Amino acid sequence: LRSGLLSVLEKVKNSVILDTKEVDSIIRELQRVLLKADVDVRLVFELSEKIKKKFFSREIPPGFSKRDVLIKILYDELVSLLGGENATPYTLGRMPYKIMLVGIEGSGKTTTAAKLAKYLKENGYSVGLIAADTYRPGAYEQLQQLATKIGVSFYGDPQCKDPVRIVEEGVKVLEGRGVQVFIIDTAGRHKDEVSLMQEVSEIYEKLKPDDVILVVDATQGKGVAKQAIAFKEKVPLGHVVVTKLDGSAKGGGALSAVASTGAKVAFIGTGEKLDDFEAFDPYKFVARLLGMPDLEGLLRKFQALEEHEKERARLAAAGKITLLDLKEQLLEIKKLGPLSKVLEMLGGPPIAVKGSLEGGEKEIDKWIAVLNSMTEEELLKPEIIDRSRMTRIARGSGTTVRDVKRLLESYTQMKKIMRQIYRSRRRIQGF
Ligand code: GDP
Ligand code: MG
């Protein structure tokens, strides 16, 4: 997925005008990459449509290029494909806290139980592991060894064939040893799905765990969605762990498949060792996949833009007009065509003002040029425009510092008038 996405980004960077044709070609490359990573066809199609729609309907904000906007949209949509919108860090509720692991055989439950135990131990919890897999030969020893290695409490009974009893006993025994967080490893036979599901239900009913974590294997790609749905029918799934993301070409398919079922991926397994385990953060994950050194800067820039937009909405709600509003107003006026034409349509301007109208026209162009040379921040907070910024703006717009000053003065004037109007309106509304 990683090398594939790099080729998509390469295409974005090499694009020239980003018209429909170029964007289509980029999207086709993206589709190829995602399908190869085993992402479901329907999800790929939805994502493509969303990206196109967003890109062609979004205005390019000042200070950004079309390319910036496309990369941001790609990033957002990939994050959302991996469940970004409802991702939250994994936290435990009130102690004692019981976590039950479920999943089919070989998905990595036992390994994950140990990894999670280590992770939680390192976060200061007193953790205990319970071996409730009574089917797999050596399951008891496997977990016991791992528990010893990590240094957490362990309970199991190789003689007992009843997982429900083991769990009951285990909780009692470990509670006596001061365990707060119980991690229960269960069986996951492949062949007899009906009795596996029955066993999972029974343990669930008896234990009433605080969290049920489904463990799935990334090498199964989009196939893991079926597992998530099947387990969800039997027990309320709290979280999912996707294992074997290391070296699996189908990781993208597995992660997006889980997200599409509405389940949350809490952790990912990235190797056989106990430390090859990390909290899943779709934002970081996608940023790493895209591997752009400048991505972080770009995302920060977009965040600043969002904050500005919020600030602007706040100012607007308070009846304050900004230079950004002024700029938009002027652009609207320009869209109507030459001022004299506009007035002609309205019945024609008096001959006497024709000359000054042309002057007004030029004035508007000049103002727009000045406003175009300001940053978004300056447009929203003109008070930060000092002498050196004025010089820069004047140079950028082919005007003079005097012109910039004049515009700022007019704006201050306008603001005063607006404030008065706003106040009197409020006063009227107040009565
Ligand atoms: P269980 O049957 O669900 O309990 O699965 P196990 O925990 O016994 O794991 C099955 C195999 O997958 C073992 O060989 C593990 O070492 C391996 N495994 C588990 N998690 C990962 C992982 O994140 N990466 C890799 N490469 N192997 C893993
Ligand atoms: Mg196991």
Same domain for 117 and 36:
no
- Does a structural domain hold residue 314? no
Question: Among residues 219, 250, 280, which one ends one of the domains?
Answer: 280
Q: Give me ligand 2 centre to Cα 187, in Å.
A: 6
- Does a structural domain hold residue 286? no
Which ligand sits nearest to residue 131's alpha carbon?
2
Same domain for 275 and 187:
yes
Same domain for 140 and 60:
no
Same domain for 121 and 78:
no
- Which numbered atom of ligand 1 lies nearest the CA of 270? 23
- Cα–Cα nearest to 243, from 286, 211, 278: 278
Q: Is 427 annotated as a binding residue?
A: no
CATH number at residue 413: 1.10.260.30
Q: What is the pLDDT of residue 99?
A: 96
- Does a structural domain hold residue 411? yes
Largest distance between two CA atoms of the chain: 107
Q: What is the pLDDT of residue 431?
A: 45
Q: What is the pLDDT of residue 312?
A: 77
Number of domains in the chain: 3
Same domain for 195 and 78:
no
What is the edge-to-edge ordering of all strands in the sheet holding 153-155? Answer: 153-155, 127-132, 181-186, 97-102, 211-217, 239-243, 265-269, 277-279
Domain of residue 184 covers: 97-280
- Residue 102 main-chain phi, psi, to 5 deg: -130, 165
Same domain for 168 and 20:
no
Q: What is the pLDDT of residue 243?
A: 95
Same domain for 114 and 224:
yes
Structure tokens at 124: 């200061």
**Residues shown for the chain:** 431
Q: Is 36 annotated as a binding residue?
A: no
Euclidean distance between the first and the last CA atom of the chain, given in angstroms as a whole number: 64
Q: What is the pLDDT of residue 176?
A: 93
- Cα–Cα nearest to 367, from 429, 306, 337, 410: 410
pLDDT in tens, 378-420: 988 888 999 999 999 999 999 999 999 999 998 888 777 777 7
Question: Which residues fall inside 5 Å of ion ligand 2, going by CB?
Answer: 109-110
CATH number at residue 101: 3.40.50.300
Structure tokens at 154: 């362990």
Q: Are 209 and 98 in contact (CB under 8 A)?
A: yes
pLDDT in tens, 312-371: 788 777 767 788 888 887 887 777 666 666 666 655 555 555 556 666 778 888 889 999
ipTM: 0.98
Same domain for 336 and 213:
no
- Does a structural domain hold residue 308? no
Q: Are 290 and 77 in contact (CB under 8 A)?
A: no
Q: Are 425 and 418 in contact (CB under 8 A)?
A: no
Q: What is the pLDDT of residue 129?
A: 96
Question: Among residues 221, 251, 280, which one ends one of the domains?
Answer: 280
Question: Among residues 280, 305, 336, which one ends one of the domains?
Answer: 280
Q: What is the pLDDT of residue 347?
A: 59
Cα(136)–Cα(129) distance, integer angstroms: 17
Q: Give me ligand 2 centre to Cα 122, in Å.
A: 23
pTM across the whole model: 0.76
- Cα–Cα nearest to 113, from 333, 274, 329, 228: 274
> pLDDT under 70 in the chain at which residues?
189-192, 292-293, 319, 336-359, 422, 425-431
